[in-house]
Amino acid sequence: MGVRRLYRGRRGGVKPVTFHGDLSSISFPDLLQNLEGSGNTGNLAITREEHEVATLRFEAGKIAMLVQPDRPSLPELLVRQGCLSDEQLRSARSKRRGSRKSLCETLALQHGIELDAVKTIAARALTEDICDLVAEIKDGEFHFDAGPPPPRHFDTEERQLDLRLSVSALVLEGARRADHWRLIRQAIPFDATHYAADPGTIAPLDAGDAALAKVMIATLDGTRSVCELIATIPDRRFEGYCVLAYLVQERIVRATEGDGLLRMARSIAKDDPARSRVLLERGLESEPHHVELLRLHAEVARVLKDRSSAAQSLKTLAHLASEAGDDEQARQVLEEARALAPRDPAILERAYHFALHEKRYDDARVAAMKLVELHRKPGLHNKAHDVLAELVKHLPDDVELIQELAQCQSDAGNIGAAVKILTRSARTFIAAENYADAKVLYESTLELDPQHYEASERLQDIATFAFSRWRARRRRWLSRTAAILTITATVYGGVLETRARKAFAEAQTRVSDQHLVENRRYDEAVRLYEAIREQHQFTPTAWFDIPQKLVDLQSRASESQGPD
């Protein structure tokens, strides 16, 4: 999309009032230079995906003001610079009420801050911001509107300074910085990193940079991130990054690791818990599984009454203990987390699985019901069903759980599945003669499906004690059948034993008549008895009498083979 202009007629000709377009058709530096060359006065808004990136105020082609998200106001900038304290700023604002003087004029009168010095600081800060924009903005949409500044859009104090910055100089400086930023990011990849330097360290730099390096080294005690450090010199940000990159490359300063941040956070935890937590969170950004950082973060968050943050740290600790195989430690930490955040779904789910693993089914049931309640509120019925389905496997006789499981299916619109759950469990209860619970489940079935045939029939059977009578008849039939089988088995066993005894007696007679023992014909006698045992093997005679006879014959045979 190219640049589109809107015109308004005036005396002396037709002049452009508004134009807009996107930065794919014209680069941001070229756009700024065109506005300067035309001597335009108005407001240039830069947006990306309908979100404001920046709004610049032009006065006769020169940049006078800037609005950006999170850009500090001029009074805040003075506080960051150390030109005045928060208390002095509050006092000046209080004195200014009802006066026509600007806040900067009030500060000059009350605290001796020179307006020229304030203007210099503001101009340098505006230069830094514009140069950063020139280096960073590569795409987006723009809209220029000739006219006065929108009410209350720009910083009132910055507006009264009447700044005028040359676009050409800013564009050149922004282009130069774009090349340097790649080198800076090679040395300082993350603004959240903390650096520390030994006190008294001297950096071999030129006078201006050396003075800045000295200030930075004095500040780099490991408690501040790069972002926080640069925020203390908002009018010299780029210089600050360049100096810090040099200090990092020359190893004059070193990155503070998790253990170092832990020591600093622990040393100030009692006196300044808020600052201690900031350090701990910075350490956890690079080492999210650092156990001591997590433990101290939980303690500090408790002191600050931030129960949610404390619970999150404890939850991570429980996960780490579980992975290490220390289930007891994991369970204790998880209980601490539950006490802080009793309705946190992730904590409840982990506590539920721990209880199942340790077969603490009562605790698992309590956690499961809370989980189900939390899942149902936003309509996560399938998640609630999964929790209950797993628990019902361990507690198949819990009627309330079965009803809740069916209710989850019903809430999800699966009436057929809900009915199937209820009837299947009801049949199991009837088989176990648990008619009271079966009745409850069948009644729940009819609530979902009033025409359900099985539920209606079974409820009627339960009401008329049909199942009880059928069970009684079945028991009597089984008792009689068992008696008949016992008698039959006894008679049959008696017949078999009688036959075995008769054969055994005949074998004894044959051994005696043929004088098998006297003539030392033991093998023949043994074969005779073995044949009887094989033929009548399921009788007491084969189990007791014949083995005894065989042992006697084998003993005689052994003696007969010995010396005479």
Which of 390-396's residues contact partners 24+ apart within 8 Å by CB, and which partners? 390/356, 391/356, 391/361, 391/364, 391/365, 394/356, 394/359, 394/361, 394/364, 395/361, 395/365, 396/425, 396/428
- Confidence (pLDDT) at 14: 44
Residue of 177, 158, 160 whose CA lies nearest to 66: 158
- Confidence (pLDDT) at 208: 67
What is the pLDDT of the chain when averaged over all its residues? 82
% of residues, the chain, pLDDT over 70: 92
Which whole number is the average pLDDT over 491-515?
86
Task: Examine the pLDDT at 15 and tell me if it is beyond 60.
Answer: no
Chain centroid to Cα 326, Å, comes to 20
Question: pTM of whole model > 0.85?
Answer: no
- Confidence (pLDDT) at 199: 66
**Can you give the length of the chain in residues?**
564
Which whole number is the average pLDDT over 161-171?
89
Write out the two tokens for 165. Answer: 């910055």
CB atoms within 10 A of CB 80: 16
- Confidence (pLDDT) at 50: 80
- Confidence (pLDDT) at 62: 92
- Confidence (pLDDT) at 12: 46
